[in-house]
């Protein structure tokens, strides 16, 4: 592994020599050579594009990942040979362990330059949006790194000359500079970007992680900061890097401080994870509101504020004093790519009006660039303008009929609008286009299931599941497949197996035990059904689970218990009899006549 890290450093330095795009003078005697990487913000993810063996590969720019990684599906798509990690080597992510292997990519390219035989880890979760993997710190920490994600740029910086005491926030002008020391680690090879912060006056350590969409505070650290437990608002369970999911809440923190910057009444997510060693995870939301320079040379982090809300996505800026914000770099009014990147960043911040202005201009300037119209389609969806989103998706597919994300989005939207034939046409085109292990096949299965086409849904799941055995979505997908089979009384023993596997992967999700109960009911195994529903209800009272347990109790002759559960189900959901009937299951004898089954009830 050390050889792989060293190899990564060598190839990026070679690229830097080949792709020197300019030099910014920090002051006399210090020069900053730079390698600029354009970054697009896609669904709260900063994405740069490399080529791997001649195939364009969008990769997540992830300062939280120590090494670059490809998803298993991407490795399969590229037919890359895999080998085991060195003995004793283990990986863990934010929410659990990560099973990984190694591969070597023969040709890796960036902006016209190409290098040979580069190692990547293979593992982790699918990130969606066509992202094929992660560009980690073996790339991002070969020199200094500047993150200007509000404008869609990451720069690898290589100081030369007398730079030991230079202020590397060279863009700041008169704006205050946030300055913090990098927290050293006992391992000489640790390249993580850690700084000291204060939460409610308590000193803590924070990891700066562009791969995390939002900032979060660990539950134990929140307790140390005297965050009242009664003020925690439940968010349910969230996923991250790793196979598991963790409990999550939100709360308002009285104060947050980093390098002289102090923010009052901070809304933060609070997570109960045991796989994260630091107190705070500073995510993409922090990067979008700051321009950040990580100086490996000096062991410091420089930052300036951009003038936008730091943690509250989409919050008004009226009460912020923008006199303390750094002046942004000018963008030429005819630079469509820069405008599009800035527009996507504004979308990620929830500043939709600004985003639309930039993306409208980008689409006008570059009417043949499909990525701009796809970005605007996502923005229109976020703004609840589906008709405009569909128009942009139509434009994308007129430019490139094989654009998979646009086809998948349009198919789902058409299905939701009951445009069945049009949705099926998009799905058929997507099926012909995608490689068997594509991450989009799970999405296709969901749409087919919603359309009531069980064989097509099952075929897509059969293609997705074998190549995503360690994906965070696996438990949810297995539950969907179990639920569909239970509803339609198809392959019921396989349905039970799927639900049991989902529970093995995530035993704290009540819906999986609920689906198992209904599968057992279909098999006329009332005792097993009761046990499954007991487990679901213990985790969370669910109307479907109470109703299913009542049906099972009726079969066991437990009339009084059945009536209690029916009453509980109907108190939780007055329409539960109708919904059970629509799902295709038998209803209680005292229920109103069930309405015809609806395709829209296929997935819960």
Residue 526: which of 562, 573, 481 has the closest Cα? 562
Structural tokens at position 351:
């500043």
pLDDT, tens only, 566-578: 999 999 999 999 9
Tokens 């066991």 locate to 556
Mean pLDDT confidence for 339-359: 95
| 212 phi/psi in degrees, rounded to 5 | -90, 120
Q: Is the pLDDT of residue 229 over 90?
A: no
pLDDT at 464: 93
Residues of 264-279 as b/e, b for ≥16 C-beta within 10 angstroms? eebebbbbebebbebb
Mean pLDDT confidence for 134-147: 90
pLDDT, tens only, 519-528: 999 999 999 9
pLDDT, tens only, 386-419: 999 999 999 999 999 999 999 999 999 999 999 9
pLDDT at 2: 34
Between 91 and 154, residue with greater pLDDT: 154
pLDDT, tens only, 471-480: 778 999 999 9
How many CB atoms neighbour CB 370 within 10 A? 18
Q: Is the pLDDT of residue 598 over 50?
A: no
152 burial (CB, 10 Å; 0-12 / 13-18 / 19+) is buried
Q: How confident is the model at residue 72 (pLDDT cuts 50, 70, 90)?
A: confident
DSSP code per residue over 158-226: EEEES-TT--S-TT-TTS--EEEEPPP-SSTT----EEEEEETTEEEEEEE-TTSSS-EEEHHHHHHTT
pLDDT, tens only, 25-39: 556 688 888 888 899
* CA separation for the pair 380, 374 (Å, rounded): 10
pLDDT at 114: 79
Between 469 and 369, residue with greater pLDDT: 369
pLDDT at 27: 60
Mean pLDDT confidence for 10-29: 56
Q: Is the pLDDT of residue 6 over 60?
A: no
pLDDT at 5: 40
pLDDT at 3: 37
Q: How far is CA 256 from CA 40, 250, 308, 429, in A?
A: 29, 15, 16, 50
- For residue 233, give the 3-state DSSP assignment: strand
Asked if residues 181 and 258 have their Cβ atoms less than 8 Å apart, the reply is no
* CA separation for the pair 302, 169 (Å, rounded): 6
pLDDT at 313: 64
pLDDT, tens only, 198-209: 999 999 999 999
The mean pLDDT value of the chain amounts to 87
| 216 phi/psi in degrees, rounded to 5 | -145, 150
Q: How confident is the model at residue 468 (pLDDT cuts 50, 70, 90)?
A: confident
DSSP code per residue over 312-356: STT---TTS-GGGSPPPPP--TT-HHHHHHHHHHHHHHT-HHHHH
Q: Is the pLDDT of residue 95 over 50?
A: no
Q: How confident is the model at residue 240 (pLDDT cuts 50, 70, 90)?
A: low
Q: In 39-132, where do the E strands start and end?
A: 40-42, 45-52, 55-61, 69-70, 91-93, 96-98, 100-110, 113-123
Residues 485, 489, 490, 496: is their CA dihedral positive or negative?
A: positive
Q: Is the pLDDT of residue 128 over 70?
A: no
Q: Is the pLDDT of residue 184 over 60?
A: yes
Q: Is the pLDDT of residue 238 over 80?
A: no
253 burial (CB, 10 Å; 0-12 / 13-18 / 19+) is buried
Asked if residues 112 and 53 have their Cβ atoms less than 8 Å apart, the reply is no
Q: How confident is the model at residue 602 (pLDDT cuts 50, 70, 90)?
A: very low
Tokens 């979008």 locate to 288
Mean pLDDT confidence for 493-518: 96
Q: Is the pLDDT of residue 125 over 80?
A: no
Between 492 and 132, residue with greater pLDDT: 492
pLDDT at 452: 93
Mean pLDDT confidence for 499-526: 96
- Reported for 442-449, long-range contacts at CB under 8 A and 24+ positions apart, including other chains, are 442/468, 442/473, 442/477, 443/408, 443/412, 444/408, 444/411, 445/477, 445/480, 445/481, 446/412, 446/480, 446/603, 447/411, 447/412, 447/415, 447/423, 449/480, 449/484, 449/602, 449/603
Residues of 464-498 as b/e, b for ≥16 C-beta within 10 angstroms? bbebbebbbbbbbbbbbbbbbbbbbeebbeebbbb
Between 471 and 178, residue with greater pLDDT: 178
Residue 19: which of 35, 39, 38, 37 has the closest Cα? 35
Q: How confident is the model at residue 73 (pLDDT cuts 50, 70, 90)?
A: confident
| 591 phi/psi in degrees, rounded to 5 | -85, 155
| 2 phi/psi in degrees, rounded to 5 | -65, -35
Lowest-confidence segment of 53-57, 170-174, 277-281, 321-325 by average pLDDT? 321-325
Asked if residues 308 and 289 have their Cβ atoms less than 8 Å apart, the reply is yes
pLDDT, tens only, 247-270: 888 899 999 999 989 998 888 999
């Amino acid at each position: 592994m050390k050889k792989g890290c060293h190899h990564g450093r060598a190839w990026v330095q070679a690229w830097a020599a080949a792709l020197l795009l300019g030099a910014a003078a920090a002051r006399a005697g210090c020069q900053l050579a730079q390698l600029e990487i354009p970054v697009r913000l896609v669904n709260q993810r900063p994405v740069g594009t490399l080529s791997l063996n001649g195939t364009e590969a969008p990769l997540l720019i992830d300062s939280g990942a120590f090494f670059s990684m490809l998803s298993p599906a991407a490795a399969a798509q590229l037919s890359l040979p895999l080998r085991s990690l060195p003995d004793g080597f283990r990986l863990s992510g934010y929410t659990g362990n990560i099973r990984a292997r190694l591969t070597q990519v023969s040709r890796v390219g960036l902006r016209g330059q190409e290098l040979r035989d580069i190692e990547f880890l293979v593992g982790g979760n699918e990130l969606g949006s066509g992202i094929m993997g992660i560009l980690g710190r073996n790339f991002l920490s070969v020199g200094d790194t500047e993150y200007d994600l509000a404008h869609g740029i990451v720069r690898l910086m290589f100081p030369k000359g007398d730079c030991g005491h230079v202020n590397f926030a060279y863009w700041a002008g008169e704006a205050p500079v946030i300055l913090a020391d990098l927290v050293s680690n006992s391992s000489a090879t640790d390249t993580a970007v850690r700084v000291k912060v204060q939460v409610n006056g308590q000193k803590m350590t924070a990891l700066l992680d562009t791969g995390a969409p939002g900032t979060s505070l660990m539950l134990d650290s929140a307790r140390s900061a005297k965050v009242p437990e009664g003020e925690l608002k439940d968010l349910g369970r969230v996923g991250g890097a790793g196979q598991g999911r963790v409990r999550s809440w939100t709360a308002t923190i009285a104060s947050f401080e980093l390098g002289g910057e102090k923010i009052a009444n901070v809304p933060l997510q609070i997570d109960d994870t045991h796989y994260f060693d630091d107190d705070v995870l500073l995510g993409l939301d922090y990067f979008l509101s700051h321009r950040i320079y990580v100086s490996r040379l000096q062991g410091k982090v420089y930052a300036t504020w951009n003038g936008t809300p730091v943690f509250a996505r989409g919050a008004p800026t009226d009460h912020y004093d923008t006199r303390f914000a750094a002046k942004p770099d000018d963008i030429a009014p005819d630079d469509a790519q820069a405008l599009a990147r800035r527009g996507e960043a504004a979308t990620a911040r929830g500043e939709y009006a600004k985003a639309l202005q930039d993306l409208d201009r980008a689409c006008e300037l570059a009417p043949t660039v499909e990525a701009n119209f796809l970005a605007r389609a996502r923005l229109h969806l976020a703004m609840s303008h589906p008709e405009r989103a569909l128009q942009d998706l139509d434009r994308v597919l007129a430019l490139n009929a094989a654009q998979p994300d646009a086809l998948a989005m349009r198919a789902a939207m058409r299905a939701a609008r009951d445009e069945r034939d049009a949705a099926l046409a998009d799905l058929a085109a997507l099926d012909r286009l995608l490689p068997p292990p594509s991450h989009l096949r799970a999405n296709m299965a969901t749409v087919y299931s919603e359309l009531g086409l069980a064989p097509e849904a099952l075929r897509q799941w059969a293609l997705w599941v074998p190549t995503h055995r360690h994906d965070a979505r696996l438990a949810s997908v297995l539950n969907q497949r179990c639920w569909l089979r239970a509803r339609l009384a198809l392959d019921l023993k396989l349905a039970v197996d799927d639900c049991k596997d989902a529970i093995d992967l995530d035993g704290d999700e009540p819906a999986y035990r609920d689906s198992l109960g209904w599968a057992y009911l279909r098999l006329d195994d009332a005792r097993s059904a009761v046990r499954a529903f007991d487990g679901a209800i213990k985790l969370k009272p669910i109307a479907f689970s109470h109703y299913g347990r009542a049906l099972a109790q009726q079969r066991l002759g437990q009339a009084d218990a059945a009536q209690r559960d029916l009453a509980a189900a109907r108190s939780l959901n007055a329409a539960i009899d109708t919904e059970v009937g629509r799902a295709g299951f038998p209803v209680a004898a005292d229920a109103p006549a069930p309405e015809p089954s609806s395709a829209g009830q296929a997935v819960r």
